[in-house]
Amino acid sequence: MELKGKVAVITGASSGIGEGTARELADAGMKLVLTSRRKQLLDKIAAQLDTETTTIAGDITDESLPQKLIDTAVDKFGSCDVVFNNAGVMIVGSAEDIDLEAVCRMVRINVEAVYRLAIVAMRHMVSKGGGYLINTSSILGTKVRQTTGAYAGTKYAVEALTEDLRMQAAGTGVRVCALEPGLVETHLQDHFPVHPKDMLNIKALVQPADIGRAIRFMLEQPDHVAIPRILVMPTDQGM
């Protein structure tokens, strides 16, 4: 894909992987539709980007948001070429201690909201004969560590849907990928009593900009090349 002038929708765009990817795709000349709950942060990031950008503040669990994002991309910029389905939260813990209501909200964010946007985006892209859908999974979408099962389960669900949509997309011009980050320098684990980097003795985490470069690499492959999964992790992460 020639990225200059193409249009990307990015969820969870106000920090972390979403922000890092927005900055990288802006540098590539893409026009952006950014969304998260935090309007002030979104607008601050948009003002720093040297590209046409529009922001939509909203809760990713809002059932109307997926179609609104696609419609905004088309209405503002004429197309929707890439959807980076990235918003998510991480709740872990033992069965004895975990906050069950927080787990259920995580399922709504990490599974239901991801499914809604993925399927809406897929329908749009297939109807237009092309596009790229990227769903953020995790290294924990491929394996489980003790006390991470609830979170890992949401990412296993993302892996399953992504693989199915990839197969459905064959021959349509649409490409589908699961992004599988290891430990990245984000706020995802800030609420943990002990950060995983300290538990695993990882000296240098992957940076959001590193993920952005990986996604740009994937998007820039020629039309006959698909990258169904991309795992990006710290060199010190042994799992």
Q: What is the pLDDT of residue 218?
A: 97
Residue 172's alpha-carbon distances to 9, 98, 126, 129, in angstroms, are: 20, 43, 6, 6
Q: Which two tokens stand for residue 197?
A: 């980097």
Spatial separation of the C-alpha atoms in residues 145 and 204, rounded to whole Å = 21
Look up the pTM and report it: 0.95
Min mean pLDDT across 13-27, 111-125, 182-196, 210-224 is at 182-196
Q: Which two tokens stand for residue 15?
A: 């920090």
Per-residue model confidence as pLDDT tens digits over 206-238 = 999 999 999 999 999 999 999 999 999 999 998
224 three-state secondary structure: coil
Show the CA angle centred on residue 124, arms to residues 37 and 51, nearest 5°: 55
Cβ(59)–Cβ(37) below 8 Å: yes
Side by side, the strands of the sheet bearing 174-181 are 53-57, 31-36, 7-11, 82-85, 131-136, 174-181, 229-232
Q: Which of 115, 132, 151, 156 is catalytic?
A: 151
Q: What percent of the chain has pLDDT over 90?
A: 90
Q: Which two tokens stand for residue 128?
A: 């237009």
Domains in the chain, CATH or no CATH each:
7-180+208-227 (3.40.50.720)
Whether 115 is catalytic:
no
Mean pLDDT, rounded, of the chain: 95
Q: What is the pLDDT of residue 144?
A: 96
Residue 97's alpha-carbon distances to 40, 100, 101, 147, in angstroms, are: 34, 9, 12, 10
Q: Which helix (H) or strand (E) holds 57?
A: strand 53-57
Using DSSP bridges, classify how beta strands 229-232 and 31-36 pair: parallel, antiparallel or unpaired: unpaired
Spatial separation of the C-alpha atoms in residues 43 and 191, rounded to whole Å = 25
Q: What is the pLDDT of residue 186?
A: 84
